[in-house]
Each structure stands twice: as structure tokens, then as C-alpha cells.
Structure 1
Amino acid sequence: MNKVLHSPLAAVLCGGTIVGLALGMRHVQGLFMLPMIGTHGWGREAFALAIALQNLAWGLAQPFTGMIADRWGARRVLAGGCLLYAAGLYLMAHAATSMQLALSAGLLVGVALSGTTFGVVYGAISRIVPPQRRSWALGMAGAVGGVGQFAMVPATQQLIGALGWAAALTAFALLLALALPLVWPLDDRQAPVPDRHSQPMGSAIREALSHRGFWLLNLGFLACGFQLAFIAGHFPAFLLDRGLPAQTGVAALAIIALANVAGTYACGQLGGLYRRKYLLAGLYLVRSGAMLAFALLPVSTASVYAFSFVMGLTWLGTVPLTNGLVSQVFGVQYLATLFGFVFVGHQLGGFLGMWLGGAVFDATRSYDVMWLLSVLVGLAAAALHWPIDDRAVARLQAA
């Protein structure tokens, strides 16, 4: 039994489940916006600012949670992240002012996400699973996480309808606390990493920060955060503004999450066959094309579902590819730390996508400017990924 709990498959399944719970709650935040601001009389920008701060706190905390995981093991970080996430959701449910919302949904949940999502989980799996199985493992963990995200959409709709939005948040807080046993198989401290003692952490960070491709990857990842935060946070409200029923927004998020299962697994597999930087550039081009077409065509139920499916296929496929590219160039010894630095760019984009969505809507009563910006940042990301030098650094080549 102990051997099963510490097997690579157990790490993949449990890690994917934790990611699914953490990202699933983040994926459905848009469903809470209108009922919450309706109860408190806030504007959309107040809710958007809190979630934007969440993205920023997540990004700024990610390098530090990565450092802790690389030095003392992923299991401790994941356990603390689950408990902090539960506290943040509980306090969010009882927030009476926009400041309390910013501190709970923004600061606490943001830091918790840095300790419960792919930065820490993928780093642990990359060390536990042999190199020849790494692409499969990252893709499978992402797919399991995608199933969790999908399940959270109808669960959220049912809980809000039956209990109200505050009780639904409390229920999810309890669920995150009960997820603690899932961290047990993610013990990466005993993993046989060839380069574990070959380089100090400070040297690894300096090596990455002096690499031009590392900065290009960081800037390109900003587009991913911008696009995902805008759609996850504002798409249900956008559809209501266009006269579509609330069920269409729920179905759209469910389609995104379901297509993400196939998309993330496929991207993980393709990353083992083709150059990851070209796959990433292609993903951003597909996203930008889908957004441009959706913004220009008349909005209908059919167009919403088609757009959601295409976006879902590219939703989190960027993560195993980006993580794999970092490990390919710099090795896996400090993967959680280095991916954490790359993820800062993603979350700066998430902050801008979420906050600007609310600010632009309150100023113009429209999301048209945001659709255009989303297309432009996607095209820029494709251009930034193309020239990345994806060869292993000289230190690894020599080894």
C-alpha cells in the first residue's frame, strides 16, 4: 500500500486533483460576481479589482512558494496552500466591504493558489517521474485537473441555486480543507534528481535571469494570464449583457473546462514530440484568431459554444509546455522556483485582464476594447515565443 501511495501514478492523480480543485474554484469566480455585487450594491470594478489583486498576489508569491517547495519539499507547501485557500474562501463568503473582499478573495486566495496549483505540483511531478515519462505525466496531471475544473461548474451552479452564493463559498472552503490527504504522494524530497546538488539556488536564479529566452517566455506568458482572467471573470456577465440566459454562461465555462481536459493532455504529449516554443506560438495564434472571429461575428448560442470549445482546447495547454520548456533549458533542480518567476508575467497579465475588464466596462458599458486588447496581446505572445533559444544551458550540456 505504501508503495502505491508513493508511485508516480499516485503523484500524478493526486496532484492533478489538487490543481483541479484550486483552479476549478478560480474558474467559476465569474458566476459569483453578479449575485455578490447585487447583494452588496458594489460595481463590477470592485469585484474585478479583488480578483485582479488575487492574480497579482498569486504571481508575486509564486517564486517564493516555489523556493520553499524546492528546498523543503512540495508536500508542506501544498498542505499549507489548501488550508489558506479554505480560509480565504470562508472569509470571502462573509466579506461585508470591498476592502474585506480584496483581502480575502484577493490576497489570501491569491497566495493560496501559488501553493496549490501547477507551479508546485508540476515541479514535484517533474522530479518524481522519470524524464522519459515527464511529458505524459504533465499532460495527464493537467487533464485530471481539467476534469476537476469541469465538475466545479455545474456544482457551483447547483450550490448557488440551492443554498445561495455565500453558502456555496463556505462549502468550497470545506472541500479545500478536506483535500489535505491528497498531498501525501507528492513527496519529491526522495526523488532521484541527477542535478539536485549541482548548483546553489542563487546561482540558478541568476543563470535564468541572464538568459534572453527566460525573459521572452515571461513576457509571452503575460498574454495567457490576460486572456484567461478576462474570459473567466467577465464572460458570463458579457453574455448576460448580450441578452443570453445565465445558463449559457454556465454552459460556456463548462465547455471550456471539458475541452481543456483534452487540450492540456494533448499539449503535454505534443511537447515530447515537437519543439515547445513553436507549439506555444501556435496556441497563441489560435486563441487570437478565435477571439477576433467571436468579436466580429454576431453573438449567438452556437457561436458562444464554438468559441468556448476552441478556447478550452488552448486554455491551460500553455502550462505543461511552458513548464517543460523551463525544465528543458535549465533542468529540474529548481523548477518550481524558476517556473514561479516565469509565472509572475502570467499573473501580471491576469491582473490587467481582470481589472481592466471591470474598469473598461464601467467606463464604456462595453467589453469591445477588451476583446481587441486580448487579440493584440496574443499576437505579441506568438511573436515573442518564436525566437526563444530552447537549447539546454551550457552547464547541463557539459554534464
Structure 2
Amino acid sequence: MSGQQDIWRKRWQPVIAGGLLMGAALGVRHVQGLFLTPVTIDHGWSRETFGLALALQNLLWGVAQPFTGMIADRFGSARVMLAGMLVYALGLLVMAFAGTPGVYTLGTGVLVGVGLSGSAFGAVYGALSRLFPAEHRSWALGVAGAIGGLGQFCTVPIVQSLIDGLGWVSTLVVLASVMVLLAPLSALLRDRPVSHVPGEATVQSMGAAIREALSHRGFWLLNFGFFACGFQLAFIASHMPAYLLDKGLSPRDASTALALIALANVIGTYACGYAGDFMRRKYVLSAIYFIRSAAMAAFVLAPLTPASVCAFSFLMGLIWLGTVPLTNGLVSQVFGVRYIATLFGFVFFGHQLGSFLGVWLGGIVYDATHAYDLLWYGAIALGVIAGLLHLPINDERVERLSGTLAQRA
């Protein structure tokens, strides 16, 4: 009995806690597109105004991620996640009661953006990467990602029902309350301090680790490829609901699309994380980007129907966030886990820079052309480029980690 309790405490508790925190943080972000129409109509704002606020959220999430990663690597991830959830909640409250575009941007762009940097991928995956040895790491990341995806799936119908029944303002207040209630779960992800990470005997400062990564060609290729991922996902999540409404489909079709993406993501994130155990991660990543581009091309060129929306959403969901555990795993594979939150934060900045442009340009292009066609074609092209960029990445361990001890890193 004690052995089972030990397994539950050491293996399942942190994974479930991390998955729930990610599910809440990413779930609320995933449904931002459902607020576009009611917020812009009630306030009389343009889609560019809404798009810019959401774009800044993605950008500041990326800008803040290396710094929250540094704090997590030095003082532990639990404190970062607790603060991230509380800042996230504050941002949602500011969004709810904002009366001007500037205040709304402060809430959704600045506060939620910074909150995401402490409550989503970087902090959770960084903690789990240190808490689990290499032979169980892909499992932990995959399961936590799957739980997070399940949280995203549940968030879509719940938020749509809340908006329909309570209005978008009250819905944001409810979501802020959920963030506060879940924040204490961060205590279950207390990872070891940097100096006690096993398997990395070489003494290395954080500055040296950053310089080592920035001088590695593969690190930059991974960053540039992740840029495409952010562009694609942020554009689709933020603008596809409005795109479907513009094409004559119903709000139910739009919410169904987001729900199917989140549902399929539960399967896809776990499968992609698991694939990293027995396949070279860079090749799996290349395949994901090529498949995404093919799926988007078929979606745009084929007649738009509820059935085609469902098929596209489910396929995209299977490869939606599978890039994240694979990318995180590739960084730890090459550079070790001592400064994994910091280094992944730098890679994630590329992802969020792409997210910023995907959301912002979506609003600008639509207001200028009253269509999203140019953004779809751009997302397709970026996917092909990202697939090609991952192929030449050198995924061998850096020399510092060579030897017997490195086998545990």
C-alpha cells in the first residue's frame, strides 16, 4: 500500500497538478476567439483593436518567458506558477471591467500575457523535466499535456454556455475565480533547486548556459521553426471563429471547431510526447509542420461545410500542441535540464513572436481586405519552411554532457 501511495505522490500528483494548471491557463487562452464578436460589438471596437490586444498578450508571454524561466531555474517553479495564476486572474478581471481599449489591452495583453509565462508550458514542463528522470520524462510531459488538452476541451463548451447565459463580462469573472482556486496546486510541483539536479556534474552558470545555447546552430533553427508554430496556432484559435461566421456558418460551428481541436489535442499531445521516446524528435517535428500545411491548404481550397470544419479541426487538434513536449524534450536532450526553463523560454519567445504576428496581422489584413485569405496562405508557407528547418538540426548532446553522467540528463 505504501508503494502505491509513493507512486501516486511522486509520479501522478505532479503530473495531474501540472496538467490542471496548464488546462486552465491554456483553456482560457484557447477560447479568446469566442470573445471577439461580443467584445467588439458591445464596445464598438474594430477587430484590429481586439487583435492588437491579443497579439500583445502573445508577444509579452514570449518576452516574459525567459525571465520567468530564470526565476524558476533559480528558485523553483512552484512559486512562479502560483504568481502566474494570480496575475492571470487579475488580468481577466481587468478585461471584464475595462472601458477603453488601453485598459482592455493592459488586462488581456500585459497581465494575462505575463500570467501565461508563469502558468503554462515553460513553468510546468520545466518542473516536470527536473522531477522525472530521462526514462520517464516523455511520459510525464505527454500525460500532463494530455490532461491540459482535456482541460482546453472542457473549457470551450463551458465558456460558450457562460457567455450565452451570463454575458461575456460575468464569464471573465468566473474564469478569474477558477484561476485563483487552482493556484495552490502549484505546491505539488516543487522541483529541486538547480544545484541539486542529478546527472549534470559540470558546474555551469546560467549565463554560460545561455551563451552555449545561442552559439548552437540547432538552437536557432528550433527557434525559427517554433515561430511558424506560434503564427499558425494563434491565427487559427483567434480568428477562425470569426472566419467561420463570416462564411455563413453558425456560432455553434465555431465553438465546435475549437472544442474538436482541444479534444483531439488530448490524444495528439500524449502521442507526440510518447513518440519522442523512440523516434528522433526533430523528424517528428518536421512531419507535424508538413502535415499542418497540407491540412490548411485542403481546408482553404475545399468547399467550406460543417463537415469540412470538423474534419480540419480534428486533424489540426491531433498535431496542435504536440510540438511543445517534443521541442522541450529536444532542448533538454541537447543541453540538459539544469536550465531547461530558461532555455525553453528563449525558444518559446520565437513561438510567441509568431503568435503576435498571427493574431495582429489577422486583424489588420481583415480590416483592409475583409478576408483572411492572405493569412491562410502565409501560415501554409511558414509550415513548409518550419518543416525544412528542423531537418538539419544537430540533436546530439553538447560535449559538456558527454560521458556516463550525461546518460541520466
Q: 1:304 aligns with which of 303, 306, 309?
A: 309
Distance 1:24 1:275, change over 3 A: same
Deviation per residue, 1:304-352 (Å, 9 max, x gap): 0000011000100000000000000000000000000000100000000
Q: What is the letter of the counterpart of residue 273 of structure 2?
A: G
| In structure 2, C-alpha distance between the alignment counterparts of 1:44 and 1:204, rounded to whole Å | 41
State yes or no: 1:237 paired with 2:242. Answer: yes
After TM superposition, give the deviation of residue 7 of structure 1 in Å.
1.2
Deviation per residue, 1:196-215 (Å, 9 max, x gap): 76211111000000000000
| In structure 2, C-alpha distance between the alignment counterparts of 1:155 and 1:47, rounded to whole Å | 22
After TM superposition, give the deviation of residue 3 of structure 1 in Å.
5.3
After TM superposition, give the deviation of residue 57 of structure 1 in Å.
0.3
Distance 1:41 1:89, change over 3 A: same
Stretch of structure 1 that moved more, 178-187 or 24-33 = 178-187
After TM superposition, give the deviation of residue 131 of structure 1 in Å.
1.2
State yes or no: 1:66 paired with 2:69. Answer: yes
Structure 1 ranges of 4+ moved more than 4 A: 1-6
* Aligned-pair identity (%): 59
Please say if residues 128 and 188 of structure 1, whose CA atoms lie closer than 8 Å, have aligned partners that are also in contact: yes
Please say if residues 6 and 186 of structure 1, whose CA atoms lie closer than 8 Å, have aligned partners that are also in contact: no
Give secondary structure in 1 for the equivalent of 2:189: coil
Q: What residue in structure 1 maps to residue 85 of structure 2?
A: 82
Please say if residues 197 and 338 of structure 2, whose CA atoms lie closer than 8 Å, have aligned partners that are also in contact: no
Where do 5+ consecutive residues of structure 1 fail to align? none
State yes or no: 1:253 paired with 2:258. Answer: yes
Q: 1:27 aligns with which of 25, 30, 53?
A: 30
Q: What residue in structure 2 maps to residue 16 of structure 1?
A: 19
Distance 1:192 1:210, change over 3 A: closer
TM-score under structure 2 normalisation?
Answer: 0.96
Give secondary structure in 2 for the equivalent of 1:115: helix
Q: What residue in structure 2 maps to residue 287 of structure 1?
A: 292
Q: What residue in structure 2 maps to residue 326 of structure 1?
A: 331
Q: What residue in structure 2 maps to residue 181 of structure 1?
A: 184
| In structure 1, C-alpha distance between the alignment counterparts of 2:132 and 2:197, rounded to whole Å | 9
Where do 5+ consecutive residues of structure 2 fail to align? none
Aligned length: 399
Q: What residue in structure 2 maps to residue 92 of structure 1?
A: 95
| In structure 2, C-alpha distance between the alignment counterparts of 1:192 and 1:209, rounded to whole Å | 22
After TM superposition, give the deviation of residue 5 of structure 1 in Å.
7.4
Deviation per residue, 1:222-281 (Å, 9 max, x gap): 000000000000000000000001000000000000000000000000001100000000
Q: What residue in structure 2 maps to residue 219 of structure 1?
A: 224
| In structure 1, C-alpha distance between the alignment counterparts of 2:102 and 2:119, rounded to whole Å | 24
| In structure 1, C-alpha distance between the alignment counterparts of 2:267 and 2:179, rounded to whole Å | 25
Deviation per residue, 1:143-178 (Å, 9 max, x gap): 000000000001101110111000000100000011
State yes or no: 1:338 paired with 2:343. Answer: yes
Please say if residues 270 and 322 of structure 2, whose CA atoms lie closer than 8 Å, have aligned partners that are also in contact: yes
Equivalences for residues 94-133 of structure 1 within 5 A: 94-133=97-136
